[in-house]
Structure 1
């Protein structure tokens, strides 16, 4: 644990001022320094370059080139100088948590090889294998001999301090294993042009007499063809997306027209139903009016005929009574009957 604490302190210390990081920034080589420290270092480096090139003019117009204080890798600062270097937010967060008393060990990933249920915090991370190792798994699975001797082992905190959102894998998703030769366990270093395959140093014997190139130059040689094909695919992709957009618009238009025509049919149906109901009501009202009038007229005629029938019945009865009377009465009443009922 003491070794782990010392290791943690070393990771959180700037290699220029030898103090805890303050506003750390990251160089392209992944080494971090305090912004003020690398700024002062760049100024001194610039003075050294100016002294060495005192006969030259217009040096200020050239992007300043510095060497990393740790690995001496060249770095161009660009037009913005140190101000253009990206901040190492993750390292700053670790420093802040350490300074506030929060346990930084909580961020350290577990060993990638330990069995489930027996997780142990990692003590090393292999940048070649992309695997976190605890002390026991490191001795058993990654002995520093043979091909593994060239692998770079760093502390988990150093790995976390170098982690960026652009290219590094987060601690929740550990980095995948770098490609290596399955036969010899070595990293691929060469490209065999006739066989069109990458090989390691151990495979060279099997490819004797073949034209070989280093992997970076071979990749650069093949990139134009891939780029050309990519441009073609992007063009086809653009056309496909344009067609897809057209079909989507057509589909949307079909749905809109379906809804519009459905509404028109429903509207026409409601209008026709309303007109039919109005015609029905009008027809029924007309029928009631006409037949009611006819009924009144018929009732009046019926009443008149009934009165007339009653009168006729009375006349018939009077006539029958007259006929049944004595002759003298008949003769006396016939004249009046004729006058009355003519």
Structure 2
């Protein structure tokens, strides 16, 4: 698919079902959606899921049903006719029809069921626009019966779905969504991301995040990756600085022990040749040296242990960052927040490197 054609397809895609527009209606805020998608939003809000209210006449009849636009969250009054009274976007419908009729289906592509076993996949006959999965007849009957909450899902033929985009990419995306993220509350694929709450959403969850900024998985991943790299980009530099400080403190620790031995021998040699009157001086001098070097050794040992722990944590975080960046979009979104907070939290428990440098310089000068 050419870039221009792909951009046009994105413009002709409903932001609720993430499919090509079907009977597009336009709201008073000038945003357009599939008629069935707005009907689903209206039914959920009317049942009290979204907390939106319906104004009633004294006789109890609905006079004005208010919903919020799924894109800009503007309040929209449906009037007494409800969704049926919304105007059809004829121009948009005509563009979608022309685009669909001009789209060429790739040759030799057979849509396969996303639920069947990998070794024995059947040909798909239906596609659920809410679950974003392809089903064969058997799997549709067994796992997606059109009753209960599933009755509200919109099914189209696999041929219709095939004509709306690249089937290979669609099957890969459906397989990934079905195996990695399914909403426990609504039993739908989580194909959206709430930037405000930093969490994955399914289509049923959107109404529970009024006025929040919601993106599709792909654009949210690109944005989060940029933020993630910006916040964790200093890992390598910090790791090198810590290695330098750690090497320096280990060298000082060895020098402290060597100096301790040399000072002890020098004092013992001098005291043996001194007069008995110098015995008190000998004891005092030895005690001073022992105490001083013991304090230095304890301080340096604590610094070595401190930096060793931080070095190990950084190595683990570096590996975790690499693994996360090479993972799927969903796993990245699920783990990026945790790893970013872990990075910030890890450094908050350690002294700034400038204090280690000061201690390093001070101890080096002393010795």
The verdict on a shared fold, with TM-score over 0.5 as the criterion, is no
Q: TM-score, normalised by structure 2?
A: 0.29
Q: TM-score, normalised by structure 1?
A: 0.30
> Max radius of gyration: which structure?
1
